[in-house]
């Protein structure tokens, strides 16, 4: 009963802090502007199934896709075992699901092969990051924490899978020795081979190893659960809603600002019907200066970013040595949003710290280096849209601060005067056809 009570307390504390963090992230995301996304629900379910569950966007890099799939499917399915561990911990039982007989043996055996696959994939990814040192994992924005975060999660997964297999190996030997409490159930093809040397240990030592690995595994799972919302690995959960709410329109289709569209309609036709403006509503900023000016989906994108660097790896501006990195845009947005959330927690919702996303986090040089080619959007494995944030930051600089580059100001002037971006009068536009 003491062990059950301790387990209940650990479980309750782990779930409480996870729920608290999820609530905090949800509050931060909802600081963004309202955006209604509920059209074409069937297409959205298909997109989520194909991209989030089916990992379809990973296929452009087959080797990485294969090992990522091993980790994804292995870690998800193996955690079904966590349900049994939780029930055993609460009720003081051992392998409570063993009544399933042969099917249970099949499950445990399958879990072991999957655990071995997860172990192998994690080792491969550690080598790619730290030995082969792929360029995209060591760019300027990948400072000490982002680099360490990826390594931490891979090491944690290796430790959890090792504990799982060690627990099974010692359990199998204790079952064969007829130890009390150790129900004869399960198949252990991998662990029995990897840890065959445990046969030389005494039963008392094996019980300590099995119990130690059992507690380490479940406490490790709960610790992992609470670590994930603070790391880039939050995409494990957010990939599903993020792909469901993704932009289904053609990538080259830009959204128009409703306030500007209404003004143009009135200029073209003073009698045009436009939505009434609420005189008591706070004026809406043109574009985005800070994270609160972005919509909630853009802020969800920031938390869903995997920091894999595929967007930056294909960005033509970055490839040619310019300052822009789409991954950094998403990381900066998330970091600024976290800062705003902490200010709210510490000082209240009305607190202003005098900082903003543009200038304090993202430099003007970055946003104007973008060619708006959508390569980053196409490359993202969870359908994040860095370009939409870049365009809103540009809109703010142009429409609120009149701070466009000289080349653009010249084009704007020509469009205003000539109706085209060239230095020709509209009356001369067809001169090239003469003779």
**In the chain, how long is the greatest CA-to-CA distance?**
103
CATH of 258-266+285-418, one of 2.40.160, 1.10.1060, 2.20.28, 1.10.490: 1.10.1060
Q: For residues 19 and 23, what is the distance between their CA atoms, to the nearest angstrom?
A: 6
Structure confidence by residue, pLDDT tens digits, 190-217:
999 999 999 999 999 999 999 999 999 9
**Residue from 301, 433, 412, 292 nearest 358 by CA:** 292
**Taking the domains of the chain in order of start, what are their residue ranges?**
2-30+61-244, 258-266+285-418
Structure confidence by residue, pLDDT tens digits, 365-392:
999 999 999 999 999 999 999 999 999 9
**Residue from 115, 203, 235, 211 nearest 165 by CA:** 115
Comparing 410 with 336, the larger pLDDT belongs to 336
Comparing 181 with 40, the larger pLDDT belongs to 40
Sorted by sequence, the CB contacts under 8 Å of residue 46 that are 6+ apart come out as none
CATH of 2-30+61-244, one of 1.20.950, 3.40.30, 1.10.3470, 1.10.530: 1.20.950
pTM for this prediction? 0.89
Residue 65's pLDDT is what? Answer: 92
Average pLDDT over the chain, rounded to an integer: 91
Structure confidence by residue, pLDDT tens digits, 163-191:
999 999 999 999 999 888 888 888 999 99
Is 285 within 8 Å of 400 (Cβ atoms)?
A: yes
Residue 92's pLDDT is what? Answer: 87
Which neighbouring-strand residues pair with 362? 358
Q: Is the pLDDT of residue 425 over 90?
A: no
- Residues 258-285: what's their mean pLDDT? 78
Specify whether the backbone of 287 is left (phi greater than 0), alpha (psi in -120 to 50) or beta.
Answer: left
The SS3 of residue 420 is coil
Provide, rounded to the nearest whole percent, the portion of the chain with pLDDT above 90: 68
Residue 288's pLDDT is what? Answer: 94
> CA-CA-CA-CA torsion for 118, 121, 126, 131, nearest 10 degrees?
160
Structure confidence by residue, pLDDT tens digits, 74-108:
878 877 888 888 998 999 888 888 888 899 999 99
């Amino acid at each position: 009963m003491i062990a059950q009570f301790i387990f209940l307390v650990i479980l309750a504390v782990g779930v409480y802090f996870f729920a608290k963090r999820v609530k905090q992230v949800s509050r931060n995301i909802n600081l963004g502007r309202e955006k209604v996304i509920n059209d074409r629900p069937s297409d959205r379910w298909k997109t989520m199934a194909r991209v989030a569950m089916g990992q379809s966007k990973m296929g452009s890099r087959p080797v990485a896709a294969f090992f990522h799939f091993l980790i994804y499917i292995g870690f998800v399915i193996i955690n079904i075992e966590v349900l049994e561990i939780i029930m055993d911990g609460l009720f003081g039982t051992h392998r409570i699901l063993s009544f399933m007989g042969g099917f249970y043996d099949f499950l445990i055996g399958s879990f072991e092969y999957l655990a071995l696959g997860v172990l192998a994939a994690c080792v491969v990814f550690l080598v790619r990051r730290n030995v082969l040192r792929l360029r995209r994992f060591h760019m300027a924005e990948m400072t000490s924490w982002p680099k360490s975060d990826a390594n931490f999660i891979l090491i944690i997964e290796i430790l959890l899978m090792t504990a799982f297999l060690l627990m099974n190996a010692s359990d199998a030997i204790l079952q064969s020795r007829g130890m009390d409490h150790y129900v004869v159930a399960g198949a252990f093809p991998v662990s029995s081979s990897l840890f065959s040397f445990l046969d030389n240990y005494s039963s008392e030592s094996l019980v300590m190893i099995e119990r130690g690995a059992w507690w380490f595994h479940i406490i490790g799972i709960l610790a992992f659960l609470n670590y994930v919302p603070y790391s880039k690995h939050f995409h494990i959960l957010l990939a599903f809603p993020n792909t469901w709410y993704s932009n289904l329109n053609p990538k080259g289709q830009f959204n128009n600002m409703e306030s500007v569209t209404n003004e143009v309609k009135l200029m073209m036709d003073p009698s045009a019907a436009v939505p009434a403006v609420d005189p008591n509503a706070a004026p809406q900023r043109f574009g985005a200066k800070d994270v609160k000016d972005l919509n909630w989906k853009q802020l969800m994108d920031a938390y869903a970013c995997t920091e894999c660097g595929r967007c930056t790896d294909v960005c033509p501006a970055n490839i040619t040595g310019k300052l822009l990195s789409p991954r950094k845009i998403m990381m900066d947005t998330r970091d600024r949003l976290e800062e705003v959330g902490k200010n709210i927690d510490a000082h209240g919702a009305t607190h202003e710290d005098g900082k903003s996303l543009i200038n304090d986090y993202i430099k003007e040089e970055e946003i104007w280096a973008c060619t708006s080619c959508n390569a980053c959007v196409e490359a993202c494995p969870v359908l994040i849209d860095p370009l939409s944030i870049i365009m809103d930051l540009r809109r703010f600089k142009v429409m609120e601060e009149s701070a466009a580059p000289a080349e653009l100001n010249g084009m704007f002037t020509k469009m205003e005067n000539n109706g085209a971006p060239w230095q020709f009068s509209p009356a001369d536009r067809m001169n090239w056809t003469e003779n």
